[in-house]
């Protein structure tokens, strides 16, 4: 369906997940159609930008219908297709300390990318359940690994490379990395690093650029 794919700019691509998240919420609320102005309100992105971005999604004259707007389900499907995302990604979380607990508690995953299906920690005392999610001991990773899981969130402090190696052996292809450790992965594994300090550094650089 998407054959203008190669022409989509990085800036446009980076807005697609924001559209997707807002649209899944709308869909959940029973909204079958939406106007670009409504999506603009939900995302804070100008509706002219939204309409231009949507122009990259299809070769059709227009995705929207006059007076009705866009079909929520259709746009969600197209965005999923472009982003290669499923609604039901099974995600695991490794390390349920301060940060891991906060991530687990943040339960607005639904209708976006899937959910954390279980988590792991090396602390035997934590085994059981946390915020409604099963918490296993890391020694049982291979025994309890959820079928088809491709994404892991790392919020651990020890034995990072060893843990990453075990995850890759189980078929994990994407890692959201909160650790500040260096580790290596196979060519077919993608790592997305999240670092508050780096974010602040980037923010300060942008603020300086604004001052010039
Ligand atoms: N990226 C960021 O912006 C950011 C911000 C804060 C902390 N961090 C990093 O995130 C990690 C966690 O921070 P925290 O404050 O939650 O620490 P924490 O000590 O509170 O929690 C770490 C948890 O991971 C468990 N753990 C450690 N190694 C493990 C392993 N190999 N397997 C399974 N469980 C393991 C511990 O038992 C503990 O429960 C640290 O590496 C920290 O440096 C990153």
Q: For residues 125 and 137, give the distance between their C-alpha atoms in angstroms, rounded to a whole number.
A: 9
HSE value, Cβ hemisphere, 13 Å, CA-based, for 147: 0
User: What b/e sequence results for 15-40 when a residue is b if at least 16 CB atoms lie within 10 Å of its CB, and e otherwise?
Assistant: ebeebbbbbbebbeeeeebbebebbb
CB atoms within 10 A of CB 90: 17
Going by CA atoms, what residue is nearest to atom 13 of ligand 1?
99
What's the gap in Å between 164 CA and the centre of ligand 1?
14
Res. 85: pLDDT tops 50: yes
pLDDT of residue 110: 59
Res. 84: pLDDT tops 90: no
Q: Are 76 and 24 in contact (CB under 8 A)?
A: yes
Domains belonging to the chain, first-starting first, are 5-83 (1.10.10.10), 89-197 (3.40.50.720)
What's the gap in Å between 187 CA and the centre of ligand 1?
25
pLDDT of residue 108: 62
Q: Any residues with Cβ below 6 Å from ligand 1, and which?
A: 94-100, 120-123, 138, 155-159, 163, 178-180, 194-196
Q: Are 137 and 120 in contact (CB under 8 A)?
A: yes
Alpha-helical regions (H) of 57-106: 72-83, 98-105
Average pLDDT on 121-129 reads 98
Name residues whose C-beta falls within 8 Å of residue 202's C-beta, 6 or more positions apart in sequence. Answer: none
State which of 99, 144, 154 you would mutate to test the pocket of ligand 1, scoring each by most atoms of that ligand within 8 A of its C-beta. Answer: 99
Atom of ligand 1 nearest to the CA of 181: 41
Q: What is the pLDDT of residues 132-179, one digit of tens each?
A: 999 999 999 999 999 989 999 999 999 999 999 999 999 999 999 999
**Predicted-complex ipTM score:** 0.97
CA distances from 192 to 12, 24, 116, 177 (A): 19, 23, 17, 6
Least confident residue range of 3-7, 29-33, 107-111 = 3-7
What pLDDT band is residue 86 in, cutting at 50, 70 and 90? low
Output the known binding site.
95-100
pLDDT of residue 112: 64
Going by CA atoms, what residue is nearest to atom 2 of ligand 1?
195
pLDDT of residue 95: 98
What's the gap in Å between 97 CA and the centre of ligand 1?
6
Q: For residues 67 and 101, give the distance between their C-alpha atoms in angstroms, rounded to a whole number.
A: 45
């Amino acid at each position: 369906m998407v054959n203008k794919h190669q022409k989509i700019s990085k800036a446009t691509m980076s807005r697609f997940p924001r559209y997707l998240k807002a649209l899944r919420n709308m869909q959940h609320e029973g909204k079958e159609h939406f106007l670009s102005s409504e999506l603009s309100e939900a995302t804070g992105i100008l509706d002219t930008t939204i309409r231009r971005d949507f122009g990259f999604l299809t070769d059709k004259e227009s995705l929207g219908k006059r007076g009705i707007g866009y079909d929520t389900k259709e746009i969600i499907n197209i965005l999923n297709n472009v982003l290669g995302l499923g609604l039901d990604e099974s995600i695991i979380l490794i390390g349920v300390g301060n940060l891991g607990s906060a991530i687990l508690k943040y339960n607005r995953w639904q209708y976006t990318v899937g959910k954390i299906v279980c988590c792991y920690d090396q602390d035997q005392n934590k085994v059981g359940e946390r915020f409604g999610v099963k918490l296993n001991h890391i020694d049982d990773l291979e025994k309890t690994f959820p079928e088809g899981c491709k994404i892991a969130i790392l919020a651990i402090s020890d034995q990072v490379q060893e843990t990453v190696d075990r995850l890759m052996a189980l078929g994990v292809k994407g890692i959201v990395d909160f650790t500040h450790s260096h580790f290596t992965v196979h060519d077919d594994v993608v790592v997305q690093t999240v670092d508050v300090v780096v974010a602040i550094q980037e923010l300060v650089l942008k603020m300086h650029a604004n001052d010039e």
